[in-house]
Every structure is written in C-alpha cells, then in structure tokens.
C-alpha cells in the first residue's frame, strides 16, 4: 500500500524556481530511478543518514507555502482515524464526510474524489491543518526511518514534490564522491 497516491503528476502554479527543479527531475527521471535502484544496495543507515541530511537542508530552502503541489495534484490516503478527526471538525458523521469528499480506489484505499484537495486554500494553507491526514503530515517522507523501504515511492514523489526532486538530484550528483555508486 502506498502512503500517498498520485492522481495527476502535472504540477500547477508553483513558484518559478520550484517548477525548474521539478522539470529537471522529470528530465532526469530515468537516471534518478536507476540511481535509487542502485542505492538499495547500500546499508540502511547510510541511506537514512543521506536522506535525512538532505531533507533538513532542502526544507531550509523550500517553503511549502510557495508550492502546494502535493495538495494540488495528489491525494493522501485517509485512514479511519483521519476521517474520524475530520468529520468531528466538520460536525458530521464519518459516513457523511466520506460520501462528500472521498472515494475508494482500486487498492481499496480511501482517497480524495478529486484534486486539488478541497481543503487547500488560495494562499496554499491547509484549512484542516491541525487535523490533516497522517499521510499529509508525513509527506514527503524523506525524513522517516528505513528509507530503503520507500525508494520506489520516493522516485514517484520526485516527479511531484520539488523538495524530493532536489534531494534525489543532489544525492545522485554527489554519489561518485560518496560510498554509493
Ligand atoms: S488535507 Fe491539507 S495537507 Fe492534506 S492534501 Fe488537503 S490541503 Fe494538503
Ligand atoms: S511537500 Fe513538496 S510538493 Fe508538498 S508543498 Fe512541500 S515542497 Fe511542495
């Protein structure tokens, strides 16, 4: 089961620089996919350390409020706990919340009926931020443990999220100087 499911991979309205980062990642899609495949042979610790360092560095440079591309083009998976929290916020029953906003995909996961996410506001803030789905709070997952388990997902996310794109591009560029090749 994927943690975050792309619906469309075309981005909308992100800042110029972020668009360029994503374009570069799309252009280098094959190279990045091959690099991430090779990376799987490295130690778990090495992979985690590299991603976590890059994650911290990239989110010092990128402000999600300049972007919003994940919320504009993809859907998180909504767990039962997520729908309970959100339905409470809207003061409706979970079944009503589900009927209004969600559908079940081919994998049996609950996802948004459509994108952009209905809770994404014009200023790119999240209307339900404090009770947003867990998948949203953990996206783009580049600071989680055991990154080796989600390198395929990370490759997909590098086509949606400029932060992930930047991380993967940079790791691939510095690879010859590090232990992974
Ligand atoms: S719930 Fe909030 S964080 Fe999650 S996709 Fe919607 S707008 Fe984005
Ligand atoms: S997580 Fe990535 S795609 Fe989402 S808003 Fe932040 S930089 Fe953009």
Backbone angles phi, psi at 120, to 5 degrees: -80, 125
Residue in 35, 6, 20, 28 with CA at minimum distance from that of residue 112: 6
| pLDDT greater at residue 60 or residue 3 | 60
pLDDT value, residue 29: 96
Closest Cα to atom 2 of ligand 1: 126
Closest Cα to atom 3 of ligand 1: 136
Residue range 168-181: average pLDDT?
78
Q: Is 69 in the pocket of ligand 2 (CB under 6 A)?
A: yes
Model confidence band, residue 15 (pLDDT cutoffs 50, 70, 90): confident
- Against a cut of 0.75, is the pTM above it? yes
Least confident piece of the model among 61-65, 104-108, 112-116, 155-159: 61-65
Sign of CA dihedral 138, 82, 74, 129: negative
Q: Is 76 in the pocket of ligand 1 (CB under 6 A)?
A: yes
What SS3 state is found at 6?
strand
Whether residue 2 has pLDDT greater than 60: no
| Alpha-carbon span 22 to 14, nearest angstrom | 10
Residue with tokens 């794109």: 165
Q: Is 126 in the pocket of ligand 1 (CB under 6 A)?
A: yes
Closest Cα to atom 8 of ligand 1: 71
Each domain of the chain, given as residue ranges in start order, spans 4-70+140-177, 71-138
Ligand 2 centroid vs 171 CA: distance in angstroms? 18
pLDDT value, residue 175: 81
Least confident piece of the model among 2-16, 88-102, 103-117, 124-138: 2-16
Which alpha helices (DSSP H) does 10-157 contain, by range? 16-27, 29-39, 44-61, 69-73, 80-89, 94-101, 134-138, 151-157
pLDDT value, residue 171: 95
Residues 55-89: pLDDT tens digits?
Answer: 999 999 899 999 999 999 999 999 999 999 999 99
- Looking at the CA of 9, which ligand is closest? 2
Q: Looking at ligand 1, which atom is closest to the CA of residue 76? A: 5
């Amino acid at each position: 089961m994927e943690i975050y499911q792309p619906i469309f991979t075309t981005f909308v309205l992100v800042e110029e620089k972020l668009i360029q980062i994503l374009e570069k990642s799309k252009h280098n899609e094959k190279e990045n996919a091959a690099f991430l495949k090779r990376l799987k042979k490295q130690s778990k610790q090495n992979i985690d350390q590299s991603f976590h360092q890059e994650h911290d560095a990239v989110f010092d440079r990128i402000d999600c409020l300049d972007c919003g591309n994940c919320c504009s083009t993809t859907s998180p998976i909504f767990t039962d706990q997520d729908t309970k929290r959100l339905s409470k916020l809207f003061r409706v029953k979970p079944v009503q919340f589900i009927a209004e906003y969600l559908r079940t995909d081919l994998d049996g996961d609950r996802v948004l009926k459509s994108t952009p996410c209905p809770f994404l506001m014009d200023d790119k803030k999240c209307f339900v931020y404090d009770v947003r789905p867990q998948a949203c709070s953990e996206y783009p997952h580049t600071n989680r443990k055991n990154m080796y388990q989600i390198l395929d997902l990370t490759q997909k996310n590098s086509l949606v999220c400029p932060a992930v794109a930047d991380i993967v591009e940079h790791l691939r560029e510095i690879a010859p100087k590090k232990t992974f090749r």
